[in-house]
Structure 1
Amino acid sequence: MLRSHTWATGWTALRLAMATLIAAAIVAQFVSTVAGAAAADRDVPTTIANFFSFFTILSNTASVAVLAWAGIRFLARRRRLEHDPLPLAAALAWVSTYMVITGVVYNLLLRGLPLQPETVGWSNEVMHVWGPIFLLLDLFLGPCRRRLPWKAALGAAIFPIAWIVYTLLRANLVTNPTTGQPYWYPYPFLNPYDSSWGSVIGYIIGIAVTIVVVAVGAVAIGRRRGIRSS
């Protein structure tokens, strides 16, 4: 579905505005995190590496890049109504999947946990609530959608799997700069020292299944709204 020029132009403006807002949220949280580490005399390089090891930060950063790509491409082509190229269509479906997962996992598993002193409140809400909501709406309302093959849903699993492998391999190679523990996990449900490997594996399987289900849904919505590639 291409939609009208007016709709496409308006939604493109919203995409660029949301990309800007998410980018500002990432930068604000990064500055606060690094400043807090420096003030507390914690290891700043490790803190920075840990910051970019959170799935939330990676999924939001990817969303900024893809939303900006979609918006700039539309404007660069003089607002012509053309269906998204396959790489862009796949990237939109994938970042929508990651952001929806980010929102669901945070609000179901992490919402009740106490926030760190360095947490920027508005930034936290943008990355965990408003960004995911916008990317979900984009699936239904974004212009110039192109139908993707079903196998594109499997492609969405590549990054999360790589992130989980990276996280588990790195965890025991890093000293937690806040607590001094000889390991660091970005999220409590991935930490076997706080529960068990059985629990961690259960969460990983649950999240993996959810990612595939959400990705299939994203592709299904795109297939319903878009047209086949030529």
Structure 2
Amino acid sequence: MTRSRTWATAWAVLRLAMAAVTVTAITAQLSKSIGTAAELGRDVTTTITNFFSFFTILSNALAAIVLVWAAVWYFARGRRAVAEPPALAVALACASTYMIITGIVYNALLRNIELPQGSAPIPWSNEVLHLIGPLFLLADVFVGPLRRSLPWRSLWAVVAFPIVWVVYTMIRGPLVANPVSGDPFWYPYPFLNPNTPGGWLSVIVYVIGIALAIVAVGAFVVGWGRRTGTADTDAGTATRAAASVPSEALSE
């Protein structure tokens, strides 16, 4: 079913819909954060920068961009293709991995943490970004059409961004004052804050644990694609064969 043109078209529409919902959720939460900061006299610029320093926001923004890319490619060129282009395949693997990790980490570690007054997220937006979106990208791994089989070295591309994000977070953390609590530091998630009883040891343990989880999820995503997707050689052969078929036959 996932290789039929009808399914591919339907899933492309669903990708566009999920991207639209995700962008709406991000925009709504950002608007609320800015409004609250302005109302309470907090630094708005820092609030915006902090907002886009959350892995959740970055992973959802990337997912929305990649889902639109995948849908636009399908409607523009994909209806006669047998596999998505390599760059899109890598981007989908990255977005899927980050969103799955977002869902796991939030629901396992962060869902029941009480936030400071005025910092609570919009409930529906929170569920879109931390539950619905991750579940959709997980489903996309299994049923997304025209998937390409990637080489194992693609896993390096998957893990690159989380490494950069952690380095950025740990360097920026002690340089930025928390606009909510007034602390002379700011970290997007409590398990990355070394100014806690657990200190740096706790942070290192969590970073290693999440890093291993990212590698494991990334390996699963790439491995599943290798199991069910179309290899480069197969795609090239099929594309040449399709090009030799008259356009009247393709429309039947």
Structure 2 length as normaliser, TM-score? 0.89
Structure 2 Cα separation of the partners of residues 50 and 133 of structure 1: 25
- Structure 1 window deviating more from structure 2 (135-144 vs 189-198): it is 189-198
What are the within-5 Å matches in structure 2 for residues 69-148 of structure 1?
Answer: 69-77=69-77, 79-115=79-115, 117=118, 118-148=120-150
- Structure 1 window deviating more from structure 2 (82-91 vs 123-132): it is 82-91
**Structure 2 partner of 1:217:** 220
**Structure 2 partner of 1:151:** 153
Amino acid at match of 1:70: A
**Structure 2 partner of 1:49:** 49
Q: Is the 8 A contact 1:19 1:65 kept in 2?
A: yes
**Structure 1 partner of 2:242:** none
Q: How well do the aligned residues superpose, as a CA RMSD in angstroms?
A: 1.3
> Is residue 39 of structure 2 the alignment partner of residue 39 of structure 1?
yes
Q: Is the 8 A contact 1:94 1:156 kept in 2?
A: yes
Deviation at 1:193, TM superposition (A): 0.7
Deviation at 1:77, TM superposition (A): 2.1
Amino acid at match of 1:134: F
**Structure 2 partner of 1:187:** 189
Structure 2 Cα separation of the partners of residues 80 and 23 of structure 1: 29
Deviation at 1:23, TM superposition (A): 0.6
**Which has the bigger relative contact order, CA under 8 A and spacing at least 6?**
1
Any idea what SS the aligned residue of 2:14 has? helix
Q: Is the 8 A contact 2:177 2:183 kept in 1?
A: yes
Amino acid at match of 2:192: L
Structure 1 Cα separation of the partners of residues 114 and 134 of structure 2: 21
Amino acid at match of 2:157: G
**Structure 2 partner of 1:19:** 19
Amino acid at match of 1:56: T
- Structure 1 window deviating more from structure 2 (152-161 vs 181-190): it is 152-161
Deviation at 1:2, TM superposition (A): 6.3
Deviation at 1:119, TM superposition (A): 1.2
Deviation at 1:82, TM superposition (A): 3.1
Deviation at 1:225, TM superposition (A): 1.0
Unaligned runs of 5+ in 1: none
> Is residue 181 of structure 2 the alignment partner of residue 163 of structure 1?
no
**Structure 2 partner of 1:63:** 63
Once the two structures are aligned, what percentage of the paired residues are identical? Answer: 54
Q: Is the 8 A contact 1:2 1:145 kept in 2?
A: no
Deviations 1:70-107 (A, max 9, x none): 00111112733431111100110111000000000000
> Is residue 185 of structure 2 the alignment partner of residue 207 of structure 1?
no
Deviation at 1:179, TM superposition (A): 1.1
Structure 1 Cα separation of the partners of residues 115 and 65 of structure 2: 27
Deviation at 1:60, TM superposition (A): 0.2
**Structure 2 partner of 1:175:** 177
Q: Is the 8 A contact 2:149 2:228 kept in 1?
A: yes
Bigger Cα Rg: 2
Structure 2 Cα separation of the partners of residues 69 and 61 of structure 1: 12
Runs of 4+ with >6 A deviation? none
Structure 1 length as normaliser, TM-score? 0.97
Q: Is the 8 A contact 2:2 2:145 kept in 1?
A: yes
Count of residues in Structure 1 that have an aligned counterpart in Structure 2: 230
Any idea what SS the aligned residue of 1:181 has? coil
Q: Is the 8 A contact 1:2 1:82 kept in 2?
A: no
